[in-house]
Amino acid sequence: MSSRNSNLSSLMCCNRMEKTAIDIENLRKTYRLYDSHLDRVKETFHPLRRQYHRPHHALQDVSFVVKEGEFIGVIGRNGSGKSTLLQLISRVLQPTSGSIKVSGSVSALLELGAGFNPEFTGRENVFMNGSLLGISTEEIENQFPKIEAFADIGAFIDQPVKTYSSGMFVRLAFAVAINVKPDILIVDEALAVGDIFFQQKCIRYMQEEMQKCTKVLVTHDMHAAMNLCSKLFVLDKGHIVFEGSPIEGVEYYTKMAQNELFKVERDSTKVEEEKLSTSGDNNPGDPAWVSIAEDTKAGAGEIKIIKARLVSTMSGEPVVTAGAGDM
């Protein structure tokens, strides 16, 4: 009986650990782009429903699952769909198609100024944000000393937000986001605005005090992506092109960005490959020669390694494998 109870407790514990926080399936977000306001009006009132817009797919066929307590990073070039994804998870936007299932309360630190009234003081904005998140006034009052202390903006807490610097605003916004005790915390590049000491303070708090909270971070800081996140997603043109280890994800993204930045014509490479394949030194059937795959190439392309082989300095002959002292 005791063994059965023990197994049941272990199973329940495992299920809690494996609880899904975010479940996204076949998500798509499409915007209608018009060349002018007139085209928008003409499409609205056209008797034959003629279309004057062209579709722009910000996200296409995005599917993934985030477990409770995971720290997820999302990286990608500007315009790849990162902010749109976070706004959909936060329910700021509605998807064109697909499904989003979110378990628990969500606190989102999105673009600078989102959710704050510039005419209100910092104190008034704290209470307004809390009420928008469904938190009672009494609970906000209990949490306010912690929010004020973490933001550390002094007397500016009672000044209109429009008088704040971007760094002061981020301090207050982040202090509110973490102290409403969310199940899911979403941060969209906002920490990049704060000074380095405040960034370290936020990172330490998330690591030490929010271990059970699911965290989703969009960043251009590759160091933060590798050191903070347990899993990394790379977005490109609305598609998830990589999901997995943060180190491998940063490597994939860097290589992809470099290849796009230093894009060169492939014809010249193909000509050189043909020359090598017909040269006497390069026997296509020789296993010592290894072709370099296209997906491993990166950089400006001034130098191209098409094939490579190992040659022993002892015998002068090509070798497939080499041990210590062979080369």
Residue-wise pLDDT for 37-90, tens only, equals: 888 888 888 888 888 888 889 999 999 999 999 999 999 998 899 999 999 998
What's the rounded mean pLDDT across residues 196-208? 86
Question: Structure tokens of 295?
Answer: 């997906």
What's the rounded mean pLDDT across residues 7-31? 73
180 falls within a domain:
yes
What is residue 280's predicted lDDT score, i.e. its pLDDT? 47
8 falls within a domain:
no
Q: What angle do CA 247, 80, 56 make, to 5 degrees?
A: 155
The whole-angstrom distance between residue 110's C-alpha and the CA centroid of its chain comes to: 13
Structure confidence by residue, pLDDT tens digits, 131-161: 887 788 888 899 999 999 999 889 999 999 9
Domain boundary residue among 260, 279, 296? 260
Q: Is 173 exposed, middle or buried (0-12, 13-18, 19+ CB in 10 A)?
A: buried
Domain total for the chain?
A: 2
Question: Structure tokens of 205?
Answer: 């708090």
The C-alpha atoms of residue 85 and residue 177 are separated, in whole angstroms, by: 19
Question: Structure tokens of 208?
Answer: 């030490």
Structure confidence by residue, pLDDT tens digits, 174-194: 898 888 888 999 988 777 766
Please indicate, yes or no, whether residues 281 and 157 belong to a single structural domain of this protein: no
Asked if 72 and 89 count as a contact pair (C-beta separation under 8 A), the reply is no
Please indicate, yes or no, whether residues 297 and 279 belong to a single structural domain of this protein: yes
Domain boundary residue among 241, 260, 279? 260
What is residue 5's predicted lDDT score, i.e. its pLDDT? 52
153 falls within a domain:
yes
The C-alpha atoms of residue 211 and residue 214 are separated, in whole angstroms, by: 8
**Percent of the chain residues past pLDDT 90, beyond the cut:** 34
In 3-state terms, what secondary structure has residue 251?
helix
Please indicate, yes or no, whether residues 298 and 164 belong to a single structural domain of this protein: no
Please indicate, yes or no, whether residues 255 and 296 belong to a single structural domain of this protein: no
173 falls within a domain:
yes
Please indicate, yes or no, whether residues 117 and 232 belong to a single structural domain of this protein: yes
- Top-confidence residue, 324 or 268: 324
Domain that holds residue 293: 267-319
Please indicate, yes or no, whether residues 208 and 278 belong to a single structural domain of this protein: no
Instruction: Please provide residue 118's backbone torsions phi and psi, each rounded to the nearest 5 degrees.
Output: -65, -20
Q: Is the dihedral of CA 31, 35, 41, 47 positive or negative?
A: negative
Please indicate, yes or no, whether residues 103 and 28 belong to a single structural domain of this protein: yes
Q: Picking from 13-17, 192-196, 247-251, 296-300, which range would have the lowest pLDDT averaged per residue?
A: 13-17
* Confidence band, pLDDT 50/70/90 cuts, at residue 287: low
Which CATH number belongs to the domain containing residue 185 in this structure? 3.40.50.300
Please indicate, yes or no, whether residues 223 and 301 belong to a single structural domain of this protein: no
Task: Fill in the DSSP letter of residue 202.
Answer: H
What is residue 270's predicted lDDT score, i.e. its pLDDT? 55
Please indicate, yes or no, whether residues 62 and 170 belong to a single structural domain of this protein: yes
Please indicate, yes or no, whether residues 164 and 274 belong to a single structural domain of this protein: no
Asked if 318 and 286 count as a contact pair (C-beta separation under 8 A), the reply is yes
Half-sphere exposure of 106 (CA within 13 A, CB side): 18
What's the rounded mean pLDDT across residues 298-319? 71
| Residues in CB range of 225: below 8 A, 6 or more apart | 73, 75, 217, 219, 232, 246, 249, 250
Please indicate, yes or no, whether residues 311 and 211 belong to a single structural domain of this protein: no
7 falls within a domain:
no
62 falls within a domain:
yes
Domain boundary residue among 260, 280, 303? 260
79 falls within a domain:
yes
Asked if 192 and 149 count as a contact pair (C-beta separation under 8 A), the reply is no
324 falls within a domain:
no
Please indicate, yes or no, whether residues 288 and 171 belong to a single structural domain of this protein: no
